[in-house]
Structure 1
């Protein structure tokens, strides 16, 4: 760790935070590379009257172990700090871009929350260009982070994490993700015509054209997934271009927000105005409080579209088999999706979870969907896998349905039934 901070009053006085950089080295992709990944972590919010000492041994007031949640924003190429300050973090930036308001539905109500970022305030010799590279960096980041935190807790004495090479992984949640493109892209036509809100986004002729384009698109995606050669990379690029022209461009032509079919795209390229967040994070007082290395990083941006472009090959690759492996190893997985998101819509996410090849596939398919939390969502769950359709949630569920998203998180962390 280069620097850290424990500014208790910054953002949320009821939740201690630590921020700074972790040096990441050793990746097989760039062994001599030197990356400095920014992070911001908040401890679980202390309840009124709760003794400070009770949080130090990672147990809450009831004696239960406090969960540790890592939030990774997608894009690809967008900063987790954006989500922290607009979705599920302890505070949200006010419109003036100079102050914050405490978020009562912060995920720190349920857990310690860490937001690492390979973009935003991070810097280094080389940007990642694929999921495997991201995985390598994440592994080395967590090794450094947890060893550092262990030393802090044990006040510099010999810690029990002196040689720990494994991460105490407990479960996985994916929110409105692109996990199985060959399945996800099939559902773009239905999302613009037969969604749960009965919104006809395009004319019927456009809907018909989109349906007709699906077979050629999925064929290219299948070719992309066939292997790792240079030829396959060309197939992935071809799939990316062909599928998006045929299946996402018609939606974009409507001028609607791809993250919420009920809204217009107000501010491009992200369709939301995050200028107040950018202004806040670029304040000298904010950068000082967060220990930003201004000798290397001069300003914060929500998303790095240069990095986004480097992921066009991996974009069309299927990563659902990793979810299957985790489930078969006994780890729970929650796949949730807001039902007004177009770009990573609930129809495609539900479809790939139902078709996932794992040991309890038939049990999950037979489970059926049921009402969750009095109309807040529809859940299908069996043998550790849960799919949750969040009603009136867009691509950023914690922003659109903050109270529901916190209930969802608590249910998942508690191991309770959906």
Structure 2
């Protein structure tokens, strides 16, 4: 979710917990209730065996509205190696952790208001997804793609076949900007070959939230925009900003080489150069706790993810014996991040190469629509660089139209208090062409669905209902 530029923030975590007793079945399924998550709807947890020694954990919530007919959204948190329970319990799930991590409370602005939702811990080894040996850990996008395809096949045939015909959307955050394009491209290419192994369902859209699609060096160019020319332009003195400006052309050249070659060595070199030239000064402030890589105006209180003080602590909550017992685990060490997976992706080169080609394939060769949502105050996956990437570095059939369109304000109905009418409120800016919609979110950082719950919920609702054009009305 956070990219290798921030690996030092993650810290080492145990490799493998102690999974619950192994069974022969291809999947497990457990109903849950309000004692573990005050969701206001039916909910289930379970696992799907996707290979030898690999079992992926999921948490499924029925829509609060019309489960039989509402769409289904599958969510993946990034990392690589991040648990999707981070989004479920601190961002936009139907229940959120209390500040003291003792319980949960009902979230009025969860996406389950209008959709069935499954949060998936992947790749194998992330969160509650079990691995029986170090060899079973997934350290790359290729094996992750195979496991994801296997999961979908089993989930929609053996676990919840009644949802196989519902509209299906795949969403994710940060490094999911790599997961989703690679996994979806893998599936769609299998379909193009008429492979019997391909997930046969129709993917209506992908939704990318503060998602790193291009190389990290390409994203680094936005550090200059935000820290030297943006509202916080006084963070560094003019001399330092001039040195950053002088480095940008070389950073862009190396990012282009990375993008053109997909060569892991070139991409790693580009990332190293841009990190030294554009990130170093800000990183020093992050190390001191003064700044936050995920939000322009916050310090870092809860390391390593710099969550707000009131977000609750997933490690505390999900390592409680009673909670683990309800999920079917015993003496398992749960962590929202797995640094060993990060290292595996780095060593295999998949952490540094981009996903631009895969995005081009999706936009040109499939009928899958793409929604991009980005917090305006995100640093790690910053808005200035993201705008350049989608305007210039993902070639596709409607690129010229998209690039020449202007951003316009979008609005949502904000509820203030319980007894007053909602106020039509500016949520950010947007532009779109057929196939691609880009939405910026005001006053939101890397976890935009958490920072602006009601605003982002309104975007998602209109998107899955095919009414995204109403954002600007």
The TM tier, using the shorter chain, reads: 0.7 to 0.9
1:261 aligns with 2:289: no
1:304 match? 338
Tell me how far apart the structure 2 counterparts of residues 203 and 336 of structure 1 sit (CA, whole Å): 31
1:134 match? 144
Tell me how far apart the structure 2 counterparts of residues 191 and 149 of structure 1 sit (CA, whole Å): 46
Aligned pairs (5 A) from 1:399-418? 399-416=450-467, 417=469, 418=471
1:75 aligns with 2:111: no
Task: Structure 2 unaligned segments of length 5 or more: list them.
Answer: 1-25, 165-195, 412-424
Closer/same/farther in 2, CA of residues 73 and 151 from structure 1, 3 Å limit = closer
1:382 match? 433
Tell me how far apart the structure 2 counterparts of residues 288 and 84 of structure 1 sit (CA, whole Å): 19
1:369 match? 407
Tell me how far apart the structure 2 counterparts of residues 153 and 344 of structure 1 sit (CA, whole Å): 33
Quick one: which of 10, 17, 20 aligns to 2:43? 17
Task: Structure 1 unaligned segments of length 5 or more: list them.
Answer: 26-32, 47-53, 60-65, 155-161
Cα displacement string for residues 16-55 of structure 1 (whole angstroms, at most 9, x for unaligned residues): 1111211012xxxxxxx42111111111124xxxxxxx63
Quick one: which of 224, 227, 234 aligns to 1:189? 224
Tell me how far apart the structure 2 counterparts of residues 219 and 40 of structure 1 sit (CA, whole Å): 43
Cα displacement string for residues 188-239 of structure 1 (whole angstroms, at most 9, x for unaligned residues): 21121223x45533222222222222233333334444546xxx33323322
1:123 match? 130
1:35 aligns with 2:66: no
What is the deviation of 1:243? 2.0
What is the deviation of 1:275? 6.1
Aligned pairs (5 A) from 1:237-386? 237-254=268-285, 255-272=290-307, 276-292=313-329, 294=330, 298-312=332-346, 313-328=349-364, 329-355=366-392, 356-373=394-411, 374-386=425-437
Quick one: which of 30, 42, 66 aligns to 1:5? 30
Q: Which deviates the most, 209-218 or 136-145? A: 209-218
Residue pair 2:221, 2:252 contacting (<8 A) in 1 also: yes
Residue pair 1:363, 1:383 contacting (<8 A) in 2 also: no
Cα displacement string for residues 345-367 of structure 1 (whole angstroms, at most 9, x for unaligned residues): 11111111112311111211222
What is the deviation of 1:183? 3.5
Closer/same/farther in 2, CA of residues 260 and 164 from structure 1, 3 Å limit = closer
What is the deviation of 1:320? 2.4
Residue pair 1:376, 1:391 contacting (<8 A) in 2 also: yes
Cα displacement string for residues 79-126 of structure 1 (whole angstroms, at most 9, x for unaligned residues): 101110000101011122221101111111121111111201112242
Quick one: which of 84, 96, 105 aligns to 2:88? 84
1:29 match? none
What is the deviation of 1:248? 2.0
2:7 match? none
Q: Which deviates the most, 87-96 or 318-327? A: 318-327
Q: SS in structure 2 opposite 1:270?
A: coil
Residue pair 1:4, 1:291 contacting (<8 A) in 2 also: no
Tell me how far apart the structure 2 counterparts of residues 8 and 163 of structure 1 sit (CA, whole Å): 35
Closer/same/farther in 2, CA of residues 342 and 128 from structure 1, 3 Å limit = same
Closer/same/farther in 2, CA of residues 327 and 153 from structure 1, 3 Å limit = closer
Tell me how far apart the structure 2 counterparts of residues 300 and 76 of structure 1 sit (CA, whole Å): 16
Residue pair 1:282, 1:299 contacting (<8 A) in 2 also: yes
What is the deviation of 1:327? 2.4
Tell me how far apart the structure 1 counterparts of residues 426 and 161 of structure 2 sit (CA, whole Å): 45
Residue pair 1:260, 1:342 contacting (<8 A) in 2 also: yes
Q: SS in structure 1 opposite 2:277?
A: helix
